[in-house]
Amino acid sequence: MNGRIETGRIDRRFAALNKQGSAALVTFTMAGDPDYATSLAILKALPKAGADVIELGMPFTDPMADGPAIQAAGLRALKAGQTLKKTLAAVRDFRAGDDATPIVLMGYYNPIYIYGVERFLADAKTAGVDGLIVVDLPPEEDSELCLPAMKAGLNFIRLATPTTDEKRLPAVLTNTSGFVYYVSITGITGAAAPDTGKVAAAVARIKRHTKLPVSVGFGVRTAAGSSLARRWWKPCAKVSGPTASRHLQASRP
């Protein structure tokens, strides 16, 4: 069973791409890196560059799931004065010119907890945020943020990994909405290149358990790897269907 909320930008975007028979390009950029103005300009430029869905990183001092590139991006942003409040402001500024492109905030629970969950969800919804990826909150902690987020009308996107077996997968998929994020490698972002055959098999397995789109990430570590990801995703799309997405994590070096 998947968590369902009122159809929003993410569902509409994937439905449109599905109708076209196209996969989606999901991009990542860190809010506030290297400064607020520059990061906002990058954010605004991503849809014109081909992004179908944008993941906006919430900088945090201890990003345990991220590799050196994204860690450095987050630290630069924090040094430049980026806060969660400013990240939400960036979404509002983006929405002034784009009301169609889905934005998913990606990061860790600590900044949200400090901000205050109820206040954060209300402010995020008002700003124009569509979904959340919070990598350090497992299904057992759904009451902390997942369920309140769904009640507020935000998608809560869960991560499945190469170690997520058949016993664990139902728990991962319960209350997940928008799309499922498949972590293509074991380890931190950009640590290694994924095995395309294993990724294709894993995506096909997940798709047998859910009708949600599946986004693939974590396995991009160089500019060349970003280009490669566009190529290696194609066989996965054939296996998993046109609503599966190509996920590229590209942060400033």
Backbone angles phi, psi at 81, to 5 degrees: 95, 15
Q: Which entry of 11, 52, 55, 123 is annotated as an active-site residue?
A: 55
Single-letter amino acid code for the residue at 181: Y
CA distance 55 to 36: 16
Q: In this structure, are strands 155-156 and 103-107 parallel, antiparallel, or unpaired? A: unpaired
CA distance 189 to 135: 12
Residue 55 is a catalytic residue: yes
Residues in the chain: 253
- Two tokens at 37? 């103005």
- Two tokens at 81? 């004065």
- Show contacts of 72-76: CB within 8 Å, 24+ apart: 72/251, 72/253, 73/30, 73/33, 73/251, 73/252, 74/30, 74/33, 76/30, 76/32, 76/33, 76/34, 76/252
User: Do residues 78 and 61 touch, judged by C-beta distance below 8 A?
Assistant: yes
Q: Which entry of 52, 66, 123, 142 is annotated as an active-site residue?
A: 66
Residues taking part in catalysis: 55, 66
